[in-house]
Structure 1
């Protein structure tokens, strides 16, 4: 299986550095570039909550215009931050700017300090997921139908248009999340692409649960691409106590894990750039990672 590999430059760095990573990815054979949707770091994992952070929607449009060939995606837009009708228009525009290379990644929203500082409501999980389902109905309708009417509890659209439609027909919708009872069912009902954090064993388990949801609703599991990411280390041991799943530590260890991802049928490995160093060191690490993935093909 030809597993794709994409880079995820952190938005808490200068635009010039993000652009350098994205252009290097395009020049050397990477498949995609993703951007997270946050306005500040998560204060709950020991980061500086005041560290400057660039906004996702503007970044994906800029990268779509400035960087050739690779797919550009959001990983993922938080539903609580924007009305889904506004987001549909943003996504269609980003797809036109990029020439049909945009992937619309969306999620239910979660980061507490952003909601607290900006006065944005963060509902309990059940209500948040209910709202997310309605938002997905809005996105599907506006991006894929001539006109859309949704009379939901949280979103009401009447004979609404979103023009121009995306270049892609359909524009892929990626849903980020790993909750096995509810979120993976939402993935099956609305997503073209599924994404979550995890090492191969975690992804394999959740993929089996996803397949069970597919069987329950009669959807072909092969219709949903599977993507995953983990903090990635090329040179140097993986530290203990990290807040997110991690892989690598050496090129040899990374190669073993890449082979495991490929063996479980992962369609795309997404590599955050936060542990790859800076400047020329980061670009060399990217070259090493790409070489490992290509060698395992």
Structure 2
């Protein structure tokens, strides 16, 4: 298994680079960054950095690991721009970018910045066209598509990314549309979920693959979960009772290993750990190190 590190985008850029360099130096396999322009909260007066710009900096500052957005919102940029940015950062990184993309979901930033939000169906229709354009631009000499939402005419993308093909990760758990699009186009799929959630959605994804004649094993699977990890089980008790509204792992290294093994058993190739629960820098590094030294080696 691989283990990815996902750092918050409300930190100073120096802190982002510091913790990502620490992740690379201590053996993490990937760096991930959320693509948002403002918090999805009532209080929006909080700093949020633009994802692709930060990833360009990390491509130079962190020399070894994979990196990408988790995931880029399709509605925020034209597909041609997304493909161009990803290809450029792939060159800056020496061929390490993963192009993570999703249909877009955070309504308040669409309203604030004037991005068209529409219905879920219209966003998925746009997403399908966008992914087709991105894949064509990255792989073909010229791209033509006259769609309902996007039009490109004899469009080049030069230089092509170093990777051929560049990994395309689709994020989301929509059973009817998102996973169908994943089956057709993606090389990787990501979802926030516990092992039982991932197992169910993997079954749906496999079904979509089989319907179009694609080998499901061609798509690697990753999962995200919050983490509370510590050596003292008693001190973790208050976190066990918390409901943070998303997948959460709580435990000592041995207890965390039991959960990671469940992820492995359901076919997860990469577990991505956000640092959202880790606290300030020194506490964050302690949690990162505890996981990567005491948990990760059991699954490599």
TM-score (ref. length: structure 2): 0.95
Check the 8 A contact 1:248/1:257 in 2, yes or no: no
**Correspondence list, 1:24-173, <5 A:** 24-43=22-41, 48-173=43-168
Distance 1:173 1:69 in 2: 19
User: Paired residue for 1:242?
Assistant: 244
**Cα offset for 1:19?**
0.8
Matching residue of 2:233: none
Once the two structures are superposed, residues 182-220 of structure 1 have per-residue CA deviations (whole angstroms, 9 ceiling, x without a partner) of 111110011010001001110011111111111111100
Equivalent-residue separation in structure 2 for 1:296 and 1:38 (angstroms): 32
Q: Which residue of 2 aligns with 1:295?
A: 298
Specify the SS of the correspondent of 1:194. strand
Q: Report how far residue 48 of structure 1 moved.
A: 3.4
Indicate the residue corresponding to 1:16 in structure 2: 14
User: Is the Cα–Cα contact under 8 Å of residues 80 and 122 in structure 1 kept in the other structure?
Assistant: yes
CA distance in 2, matches of 1:244, 1:50: 24
Shift of 1:239: 4.5
Q: Is the 8 A contact 1:238 1:246 kept in 2?
A: no
How far apart, in 1, do the equivalents of 2:17 and 2:286 lie? Answer: 16
Cα distance, 1:255 vs. partner? Answer: 1.5
CA deviations over 1:96-130 (Å, ceiling 9, x no partner): 00000000000000101101111111010011100
* Aligned residues of 1:231 and 1:247 also touching (Cα < 8 A): yes
Measure the CA separation in 2 of the matches of 1:178 and 1:197.
8
Aligned pair count?
292
How far apart, CA to CA, are the structure 2 residues paired with 1:149 and 1:174? 23
| SS of the residue 2:98 aligns to | strand
Partner residue, 2:257: 255
What runs of 5+ residues in structure 2 fail to find an aligned partner? 231-235
Match of 2:208 among 192, 207, 213: 213
CA distance in 1, matches of 2:176, 2:153: 32
Deviation, structure 1 residue 41: 1.2
Long gaps (5+) in structure 1: none
CA distance in 2, matches of 1:48, 1:222: 43
Q: TM-score, normalised by structure 1?
A: 0.96
2:241 and 2:137 map into 1 onto residues whose CA distance is: 45
In 1, Cα distance between equivalents of 2:45 and 2:127: 28
Instruction: Determine helix, strand or coil for the equivalent of 1:180.
Output: coil
